[in-house]
Amino acid sequence: MKYLFCLLLTGITILTSCTGKRPQDEHVRVVFDAGKLKFIASSLHPGQETISALYGNEAAYRLLSAGDKQATGAEIKLVTWRFHDNPQYTGSRINGALLRVETVHTVTPDSITYHLEGNPLPDKATAATRIQYILGYKPVQFPGQQIFSHH
């Protein structure tokens, strides 16, 4: 009886340890946490099948909306996802696999840092061209309202 119990316990241990994936490999619905940064702009690249969201702080909003080249302290994150057909609605596309996060920080007008996390860029662009590209975004428009309200 004791032998049977031990055998059963071993069997259960082996089976449970081999089933399923490790928790960290499970698939989840990702909502990007931009911290204190706010959504400012977006874009969709039909050729690369990507969709991006640009987040920033108030200085970034000022820089992008008014082209205030002297703005310092701007923090920007460009978050890029692969887009997919929405399985719930033919005709709609939605962001899916998270590809990369690019961060731009304007320390001074002459000192701008760039950092890339995640998948490499498809066109192997340099940091300088990416900074120029990211700083070329314009904020989305809402009727009579601005993302940072006191401006």
With contacts defined by CB under 8 A, name the span among 2-10, 91-99, 104-112, 122-130 that binds another protein.
Answer: 91-99
User: Which residue of 97, 113, 129, 132 would you call a contact of another protein, by CB under 8 A?
Assistant: 97
User: What number of chain residues touch another protein (CB under 8 A)?
Assistant: 54
Q: Does 150 bind another protein (CB under 8 A)?
A: no
Residue 27, CB-side half-sphere exposure with 13 Å CA sphere: 3
Provide the phi-psi class of 61: left if phi over 0, else alpha when psi is between -120 and 50, else beta.
alpha
Of the two residues 10 and 115, which places its CB atom closer to another protein in the complex?
Answer: 115
Q: Which stretch binds another protein (CB under 8 A): 9-17, 24-32, 67-75, 120-128?
A: 24-32
Give dist(CA 121, CA 127) in Å, integer.
11
36 to each of 70, 74, 76, 101, 113, how far by Cα in Å? Answer: 22, 12, 11, 16, 19
Query: Is there binding between residue 124 and another protein (CB under 8 A)?
Result: no
DSSP-derived 3-state class of residue 24: helix
Q: Rule CB under 8 A: which of 38-77 touch another protein?
A: 38-39, 41-47, 51, 53
Q: Footprint of another protein on this chain (CB under 8 A)?
A: 23-34, 38-39, 41-47, 51, 53, 81, 83-84, 86-98, 100-101, 117-118, 133, 138, 140-147, 149
